[in-house]
Amino acid sequence: MTRAAELQGRQKAAVAGGVGTRGIYASRAENAELWDVDGKRYIDFAAGIAVNNTGHRHPTVMRAVQEQAQLFTHTCFHVAPYEGYVRLAERLNAMAPTGAENRTMLVTTGAEAVENAIKVARAYTRRAGVIAFAGAFHGRTMLGMALTGKVAPYKKNFGPFPAEIYHAPFPNEFMGIGVDDAIEALERLFAADIDPERIAAFIVEPIQGEGGFNVAPKEFLVRLREIADRHGIVLIADEVQAGMARTGKMFGFEHAGVRPDIVTMAKGLAGGFPLSAVTGKAEIMNAAHPGGLGGTYAGNPLAVAAANAVLDVIDSENLCARAAMVGDRMTARLHGIAERQGMERIGDVRGLGAMVAFELVEDRQSKKAAPELTGRIVAEGEKRGLILLSCGTRANVIRLLAPLTIGEDTLDEGLDILEASIEAAVAAA
């Protein structure tokens, strides 16, 4: 029996069935490579779901964590605050593209960041309503699920959800939903379901993650900003997956030149350590009363040290430019595959920077989703030593999230495996 098979049996007997996993049991990892407990090597095109933008175990990050561990690992910032937290807040305040003086709070997960952003927006506006978008993913807490625009597997059987949460269409050129369609639907929502004067916030991803890597058109974000300004609504940019240089800029919203009021961050922020942040305009962030925000583990010292190191690495290694290079190589290869005869099952290739995906269909005319083919490509890649992730509300999109620090030879090797996996899966279909 392999070690992986043994662990799979132990997991089944010990771990809740609702915790979905893959059959890859990690033993060690370095930059863009991972080895399982049986010694098999994988090229990692998942990066822990966009967490390891700086790669597995980046030396600068590891050194910062080791140094912090020699000092203290936990005091609770509310009990005995520390400089690392303050320094990270100062740096995020300077980076967040709100166009105003900012303030920051730190928590632990992306869902916590989202929840606190909503809390702050409600405290500031004294309103309750929140509008999210179809296909969005904002976490697995009750409020996070309510905001999420994807039922399976995230919302199924877990309701009822908090009230005063509404969803509007998100533009999706491939599926024929234009910017005008999305804005008109939003206006109908105002007319039929909730007065805009009762809405505290819009929350929107610049590129939908779980929704299928759908890129928000610049015009859509510009018009959303105009509507928010007209009605006194707080615009929250959920940069949990798109932030930290992933798209070729520090934040996805920067591509559109649109200034949000609040930015949520997590995933790539701390290089594999659990940390998230909410950064926003000072007048909005200061609306909550003292003691209303925080948490026991919020801004853990080890994770904070890692995050400060991650920001150093993004700057010193110019990871924004590197993300653009990695993304260009990925999209060029995918377009080349899609243009070949027999590869009409690839319906669309899209993304921004190193946040790249391709959508699989039965044919390009009907655009009917091909989730089974998607699963076969993921499985074929795993068999050949490549870690891939699927996504999309129709479960028919494969997303590529290689570490931004991936070596060019490793990147090319991974793309070769991806191409072979697509060919094998399509041939078997």
Q: How far apart are CA 9 and CA 15, in angstroms?
A: 10
CB 109 within 8 A of CB 266: yes
User: Which residues make Cβ contacts (< 8 Å) with residue 261, sequence separation at least 6?
Assistant: 98, 121, 228, 234, 235, 236, 280, 281, 284
In a 3-state reduction of DSSP, which class is residue 85?
helix
In this predicted structure, what is the pLDDT of residue 125? 98
What stretch of H or E contains 83? helix 83-95
CB 312 within 8 A of CB 329: no
In this predicted structure, what is the pLDDT of residue 152? 87
In this predicted structure, what is the pLDDT of residue 403? 98
Phi, psi of 354 (to 5 degrees): -95, 30
Q: Is the dihedral of CA 156, 162, 166, 167 positive or negative?
A: negative
Q: Give the distance between the most distant pair of CA atoms in the chain.
A: 64
In this predicted structure, what is the pLDDT of residue 175? 95
Block residue for tokens 């995230």: 154
CB 244 within 8 A of CB 309: no
CB atoms within 10 A of CB 338: 17
In this predicted structure, what is the pLDDT of residue 208? 97
Question: In 3D, which of 98, 41, 111 has the Cα closest to residue 236?
Answer: 98
In this predicted structure, what is the pLDDT of residue 185? 97
Q: How far apart are CA 374 and CA 343, in angstroms?
A: 13
pLDDT tens track for 314-362:
999 999 999 999 999 999 999 999 999 889 999 999 999 999 999 999 9
Q: From 2.160.20.70, 3.90.1150.10, 3.50.50.60, 3.40.50.300, which CATH number describes the 3-57+318-428 domain?
A: 3.90.1150.10
Walk along the chain (429 residues) in steps of 10 and give the mean pLDDT of each run: 95 96 96 98 98 98 98 98 98 98 98 98 98 97 95 91 96 96 97 97 97 97 98 98 98 98 98 98 97 97 98 98 98 97 96 98 97 98 98 97 98 98 94
Residue 299 corresponds to which tokens in the numbers above?
A: 């801004």
Q: How far apart are CA 43 and CA 371, in angstroms?
A: 23
Q: Where are the domains of the chain?
A: 3-57+318-428, 72-316
Fold of 72-316: Aspartate Aminotransferase; domain 2 (3.40.640)
Q: Please give the model's pTM, rounded to 2 decimal places.
A: 0.97
